[in-house]
Structure 1
Amino acid sequence: MFLDKLLPKTVLQKLTYCVLSGLLLALAWPTYGFPLLLFLGFVPLLLVEYQLLLENKKSSVVLGYAFTTFLVWNSITTFWIYYSTAFGMVFALLVNSLLMSLVFFLFHKVHHWSHNNRIAYIFLVGCWIGFEYMHLHWEFSWPWLNLGNGFATYYQWIQWYEYTGTFGGTLWVWLVNLLIFFSLMATQPKRINILRAMAVSFVLLPIGVSYLIFPDYASAEAKEEYIETLILQPNINPYTEKYNTTDKRVGDLLLKLTEEKITSNTQLILAPETVFADGTNIDSWSFSVAKRQVEELKNKYPNTAFIGGISFYKLIKDEAKIEKQTNFARPGLWFNDYNSAIAVVPGREDDFYHKSKLVVGVENFPYQDWLKPILGNVMIDLGGTVAMKTTQPERSVFELTDQTKVAPIICYESVYGEYVGGYVNNQAQILAIITNDAWWEDTQGHQQHLSYARLRAIEHRRAVVRSANTGISAGILPNGEITQKLGYEKQGSLLVNLPLENKITFYARFGDYIARIGIFLAIFSFLLALSQKLRDKKIK
């Protein structure tokens, strides 16, 4: 009787449930939300799907209702893309909501085919995990709303991410949602109580374990090894100043900010993404204005290394050397465009790293072999430049004078856990994130981006030094705790002491293994349900 009253019967009731799911997911999200709501977020939508199953509705109907949920969630949490471009926001909201809805579309089909609810719900969890994994690897990559990211500001709860990565959080969310949903579906009091107790236990036990294993980094100086880093935040407006100033002026500003707080113990100066934005020919780096500016810093502070961002290009006149990511300039001339990090280290040759996880549209024309003949050179502008960036295959690290190894992570790359693990497995002892988060103005965009850096710290047990042009520059301990930060539209610097680590975590070693298991289970359960459908059809 209770279940009959609980299930939404009318179209209005179903839409209300879908909106409620979207609101719960949105209100759980960093950095303003309370993540306990994630454990309830899918329950109303699951009730809608079950009612539609009883009504024998087609999967296309489920697609529409699910789209309502995910459009609400996406709109509230990522509306800030609008400040970069209205079209980019609309595209991101609609496409990501549709992709999320397709998971429920497939789930409803499997639910129809299978006579075993367990198979259907195993498929749902595995398929959702597969969707998130796809979002980490395909060319339309947008993993911003992967469920495991939702606990980023409650870092005390998720210290076990060093074993599971964020997919452990995704699995956690789905298991609790399903236990609550099953408790609502149950009719026997004993079973209801067991399921409720299991749901509470599944929430509390991982949090309890997290507090038990919480590592103490209260004093970086207490560590045998630590690095003193000067983090610079020049606060150059990307719309009105960044591409209208010069590398000479930027270099003078960096020197001024450096002189404010640098000490004789400072081992690293960290400047933000594309801080030198004039566009420097990589083959002429040694003679460039940016090089001279960095050399001035190096000469004044000869024991301190410098890492910062730069816009590089490389001219190509030989058609045989054109790559997939090469841009056409004019007949007979092409160029590679790089969003790069430079390391100028005393006693060593200058080193470069080229950003390789690219922002869709702005830096990467996805599936251009298919789409370019249809769309021409149109690209989706999500803020910044619109040239195809050239990447590099390996996650190289910068080695400082004292043999300290630093991971140069550029902006969007910090959202990818297994990808950052590539630096750690190449012996990086600290994660240096350089970014420019001012495209989205003072919204949740730059705050969420900072919070995701805490996830990388926990997963790999590496301290993070983060330099934002504007946004939030910060020092983050390997347990996710922020030691110091400099807020949005603040010009200045931070002097931080952070520990160096050599431990390789379970997650860093094995990566997104939960996702690979989830994909296998999704395929297996799909085939089981399909075989049941074929048997039923044969019997008829």
Structure 2
Amino acid sequence: MDRVGVIAERLPSALVLPRATRAGLVVGSGLLCAAAFPPWDLGPLAFLGLVPLFLALEGTSPGQAAWLGYAGGLSFYLAAIWWVINTMTTYGRMPLVMSLVALLLLCGVLAGYTAAFAWLLVAGQRRLHLPRAIVPLVAAGLWTALEFLRTYLFSGFPWALLGYSQYQQPTIRLLASAVGVYGISGLLVLVNAALAGLLAWTLRPRGEAGRFCEVLVPLGLAAVAVLSTVGYARLLWRDPTGGIPIRVALLQGNIDQSLKWDRGYQTAALDIYERLARGAVAEKPALIVWPETAVPFFLRRESELTLRVHRLAAETGIPMLVGSPDLGDDGFLYNAAFLLGGDGQIRGRYDKRHLVPFGEYVPLRWLFFFLDKLVVGIGDFGRGRAATVFSLDGARFSVMICYEVIFPGEVRQFVREGAQFLVNITNDAWFGRSGAPSQHLAMAAMRAVENGTYLVRAANTGVTAVVAPTGEILAETRIFTEAALVGSVRPRQTETPYTRYGDLLAWTCLVFLGAYVLALLRSRRK
């Protein structure tokens, strides 16, 4: 009998599985969860995807559980964010081998959270003697806390949080307006753990199965959680928007990333955006939105190209939100968005605050000197300070640049400052033809639900989209095409519970995690 079997014998009602079976279960779990995300979009699988992982953890030691959790997390991230290789080889000009190593390092770090989750859960069962009936609830709390930590630790990388898998599920995604995307993740883990408990109970020998109430209680909790979500969506949720609709035109220039920063291509790129903008005028928009760094030159420096942009706004008489790099008064470069009035004058500016590591700056450059080329274009950018809110015909809006939109708390801050609808400008060209542009859109859509606002999105190569406060994607473009998408938004009038209280659930889970770790440390001393 192997060590796992010996440990299982010491645990009451433990499910004994061969080592190879456990390995297969955790890898399968990772792949099932990845299939719930774009480009596959099999969202309902997320309610079952973690069941194999929970089964594999049955009867293991904390150390073994950590390795199993790590393997499951690694398989998930390799399947979900494999597109990083294309970004580094095509646009970072890194050798394929080095790109593979970088992908493995990134996925390895992210898998550490899954390993920590598995270790904590099993350690609690063994050292704190957690009753089986509350294990699913504990699992949901631990998972939620660790996802929350992943959003902030080391600059944060909350890509592919489990809750995002439900962005196409109308009823489930509305839960985010109350408890954020973290609450949806917790719900999914609770259901998975409860189902895994039921399956494990049926697989154990009859004499060792344990009491059915140990299975019934978590199943009941999961059922109540799901039914409460449905009830909230059907009975309590109200559209927070109202007033006169505002027409917004979103431009998608489809500028090749390899040409984007080429000085010789600046005029041609501006020609494309001017043509798209003038074509959209017939739809009578109140605002025309250009993507991130659509103007690849300094808009505040006078030149023939900058004069063309100002003249375009003045001739059409339509305010324009234009993405452009900017040389600040402090001498730093900024990834900025400028609001031009209908007279062509600059009416406001927002500087991106949350920069992309290795994309807009290189942390610890002395150590990662070989990644310097990933900073595309003109060098490292500085960090903006203010959560700017722009005014437009009596309505207020804020802009998030690129992956700022994947940070729930930062987007909520804009709404708390008074934004009534949200704008996301981005350049997803460096993702290539992968699931990443749709993954990025899914996260943006969840911000609309959380804050009860319309969200419009202009992406250089797509996906450009209009998202309703329900999270429904009302209109979207195909990737790698030129397009001018026009849609209507209504200003937000009231606050959602999430906007008002923020990540209260996630903070509660984080406090629980701290108390849980302290309890484990105390039990070890005893």
Whether the TM-score (by the shorter chain) exceeds 0.5 is yes
Counterpart position of 2:381: 389
- 1:135, distance to aligned residue in structure 2 (A): 2.1
Is residue 262–residue 495 contact of structure 1 (8 Å, CA) maintained in 2? no
Three-state SS of the structure 2 residue aligned to 1:44 is helix
Counterpart position of 2:333: 337
Match of 1:78 among 58, 62, 81: 81
Partner Cα distance (1:349, 1:362) in 2? 27
Partner Cα distance (2:352, 2:170) in 1? 27
Counterpart position of 2:211: 188
Partner Cα distance (1:176, 1:507) in 2? 22
Partner Cα distance (2:261, 2:237) in 1? 41
Counterpart position of 2:103: 89
- 1:127, distance to aligned residue in structure 2 (A): 3.5
Match of 2:27 among 16, 19, 22: 19
Counterpart position of 1:67: 70
Q: Rate the CA distance shift 1:91–1:191 in 2: closer, same or farther, 3 A.
A: closer
- 1:12, distance to aligned residue in structure 2 (A): 0.8
- 1:232, distance to aligned residue in structure 2 (A): 0.7
Is residue 406–residue 430 contact of structure 1 (8 Å, CA) maintained in 2? yes
Which amino acid letter does the alignment assign opposite residue 190 of structure 2?
L
Counterpart position of 2:234: 211
Match of 1:109 among 116, 123, 130: 123
- 1:271, distance to aligned residue in structure 2 (A): 0.4
Partner Cα distance (1:48, 1:456) in 2? 34
Asked if 1:50 corresponds to 2:70, the answer is no
Partner Cα distance (1:380, 1:209) in 2? 48
Q: Rate the CA distance shift 1:94–1:444 in 2: closer, same or farther, 3 A.
A: same
Is residue 168–residue 472 contact of structure 2 (8 Å, CA) maintained in 1? no
Residues 145-194 of structure 1 deviation map (CA, whole Å, 9 limit, x = unaligned): 21221211223422131111111101101221222233334633465455
Q: Rate the CA distance shift 1:197–1:524 in 2: closer, same or farther, 3 A.
A: closer
- 1:307, distance to aligned residue in structure 2 (A): 0.2
Counterpart position of 1:287: 302
Match of 1:37 among 25, 36, 45: 45
Three-state SS of the structure 2 residue aligned to 1:350 is strand
Q: Rate the CA distance shift 1:244–1:519 in 2: closer, same or farther, 3 A.
A: same
Three-state SS of the structure 2 residue aligned to 1:424 is helix
Asked if 1:352 corresponds to 2:349, the answer is yes
Counterpart position of 2:410: 419
Asked if 1:132 corresponds to 2:135, the answer is no
Which amino acid letter does the alignment assign opposite residue 253 of structure 2?
P
Is residue 180–residue 450 contact of structure 2 (8 Å, CA) maintained in 1? yes
Counterpart position of 2:420: 429
Which amino acid letter does the alignment assign opposite residue 70 of structure 1?
G
Partner Cα distance (1:135, 1:104) in 2? 16
CA RMSD of the aligned region, Å? 2.9
Which amino acid letter does the alignment assign opposite residue 9 of structure 1?
L
- 1:42, distance to aligned residue in structure 2 (A): 2.3
Residues 102-153 of structure 1 deviation map (CA, whole Å, 9 limit, x = unaligned): 3323443344422334787666443332321222223342111212212112
Which amino acid letter does the alignment assign opposite residue 99 of structure 1?
Y
Counterpart position of 2:460: 469
Three-state SS of the structure 1 residue aligned to 2:282 is coil
- 1:411, distance to aligned residue in structure 2 (A): 0.9
Partner Cα distance (2:434, 2:283) in 1? 37
Partner Cα distance (2:65, 2:358) in 1? 30
Asked if 1:162 corresponds to 2:177, the answer is yes
Asked if 1:150 corresponds to 2:179, the answer is no
Match of 1:277 among 285, 288, 296: 296
- 1:213, distance to aligned residue in structure 2 (A): 4.5
State percent identity of aligned pairs.
Answer: 24
Residues 257-303 of structure 1 deviation map (CA, whole Å, 9 limit, x = unaligned): 1222313742101000011113x2x7xx151445312212122122x
- Equivalenced residue count is 496
Counterpart position of 1:254: 273
Counterpart position of 2:286: 267
Partner Cα distance (1:103, 1:461) in 2? 31
Q: State the TM-score, normalized to the length of structure 1.
A: 0.84
- 1:251, distance to aligned residue in structure 2 (A): 2.7
Higher alpha-carbon deviation: 205-214 or 129-138: 205-214
Partner Cα distance (2:374, 2:120) in 1? 30
Matches within 5 A, 1:169-180: 169-180=184-195
Partner Cα distance (1:114, 1:504) in 2? 41
Higher alpha-carbon deviation: 450-459 or 291-300: 291-300
Higher alpha-carbon deviation: 250-259 or 177-186: 177-186
Is residue 463–residue 476 contact of structure 1 (8 Å, CA) maintained in 2? yes
Q: Rate the CA distance shift 1:297–1:134 in 2: closer, same or farther, 3 A.
A: same
Partner Cα distance (1:164, 1:216) in 2? 17
- 1:63, distance to aligned residue in structure 2 (A): 2.4
Three-state SS of the structure 2 residue aligned to 1:263 is helix
- 1:65, distance to aligned residue in structure 2 (A): 1.7
Partner Cα distance (2:372, 2:168) in 1? 30
Higher alpha-carbon deviation: 423-432 or 343-352: 343-352
Residues 46-74 of structure 1 deviation map (CA, whole Å, 9 limit, x = unaligned): 23223213xxxxx4332222221111111
Partner Cα distance (2:226, 2:32) in 1? 17
Three-state SS of the structure 1 residue aligned to 2:522 is helix
Partner Cα distance (1:499, 1:230) in 2? 14
Match of 1:518 among 509, 517, 520: 509
Counterpart position of 1:308: 322
- 1:210, distance to aligned residue in structure 2 (A): 1.8
Three-state SS of the structure 1 residue aligned to 2:247 is strand
Partner Cα distance (1:359, 1:523) in 2? 29
Is residue 127–residue 522 contact of structure 1 (8 Å, CA) maintained in 2? yes
Which amino acid letter does the alignment assign opposite residue 479 of structure 2?
Y
Q: Rate the CA distance shift 1:226–1:290 in 2: closer, same or farther, 3 A.
A: farther
Partner Cα distance (1:206, 1:113) in 2? 33
